[in-house]
Amino acid sequence: MFDLTGKNALITGASGGIGGDIARALHGAGATVALSGTRVEPLKALADELGDRVHVLPCNLSDPQAVEALPKQAAEAMGSVDILVNNAGITKDNLFMRMSDDEWQSVIDVNMNATMKLCKGVLRGMMKARWGRIVNVSSVVGAIGNPGQANYAAAKAGMVAMGKSLAYEVATRGITVNAVAPGFITTAMTDKLTDDQKTSLLKQVPAGRMGESSEIAAAVLYLASPEAGYVTGATLHVNGGMAML
């Protein structure tokens, strides 16, 4: 249904579970993909799996200069960036009263500030092309909060509000800016939870199971598609019903 043939997509955090599946989904729909992330090995493995129409662009999003260079590198490698998926994210959990300035700042820097800079870096090309898709991978935590994650929740909510403002500004240029907000998804991050923790988490989820990263990727694919051209400033919640927003 969704055809991205001829579109070029930059995906951050592609070395992770969700980012990898987002890359697979966009690539499967015909897009050329630039895989960005901090860990080179998984990026290369994914590139090998995908075969053609793929570029590996390692980038540490906590390094401002590397962030600034990334959109340019992606445009050079692919010819343009038509789709930007801001998926990369880090956590540094701590109780609010114990949270250090560094724990706060580094999560804001990588999750929110890098998103802003990458959006800025790709907009010029999208404005000229009169077509663009920006999909920010937020989190249910950005909407409902979570103990121990004040920094992460603030950054994820910030991405959404920033995206809405940007969506207003560029809507007339055929550029949409949306967010996907995953709930509990089976990834390396949630594998660390004990069975007891998982059981108690799942009590909050009407669907009674964790989500799969491919289910997040499907939502991103929709928002990146030509068919979603009238959807902008939206947040698509993919959380098994744990928060019906």
Active site residues: 152
Closest CA to 115 of 176, 67, 48, 164: 67
Whichever of 5 and 172 has its CB closer to other proteins, that residue is 172
Residue 8 and residue 79 in contact, taking contact as beta carbons nearer than 8 Å:
yes
Applying CB under 8 A, the span of 24-32, 112-120, 122-130, 195-203 interacting with other proteins comes to 122-130
Whole-angstrom CA distances from 34 to 18, 19, 124, 155 are 15, 11, 18, 24
Counting contacts by CB under 8 A, is residue 127 touching other proteins? yes
Report DSSP state, residue 109. Answer: I
Number of residues that bind other proteins (CB under 8 A): 7
Does residue 170 bind other proteins (CB under 8 A)? Answer: yes
Measure the CA–CA gap between 211 and 216, rounded to whole angstroms: 8
Long-range Cβ contact pairs of 60-66 (< 8 A, separation 24 or more): 61/12, 61/88, 61/109, 61/110, 61/114, 62/106, 62/109, 62/110, 62/114, 64/117
Taking the C-alpha atoms of residue 107 and residue 192, their distance in angstroms, rounded to an integer, is 20
Question: Which residue of 41, 97, 101, 172 would you call a contact of other proteins, by CB under 8 A?
Answer: 172
Residue carrying the six token digits 């015909």: 30
Nearer to other proteins (CB atom), residue 141 or residue 166: 166
Q: Which stretch binds other proteins (CB under 8 A): 6-14, 44-52, 139-147, 164-172?
A: 164-172
- If binding is defined by CB under 8 A, does position 124 make contact with other proteins? yes
Name which position in 169, 197, 200, 206 contacts other proteins (CB under 8 A): 169
Stretch that binds other proteins, among 63-71, 97-105, 120-128, 197-205 (CB under 8 A): 120-128
Our finding on whether 173 is near other proteins (CB under 8 A) is yes
Residues near other proteins (CB under 8 A) are: 124, 127-128, 169-170, 172-173
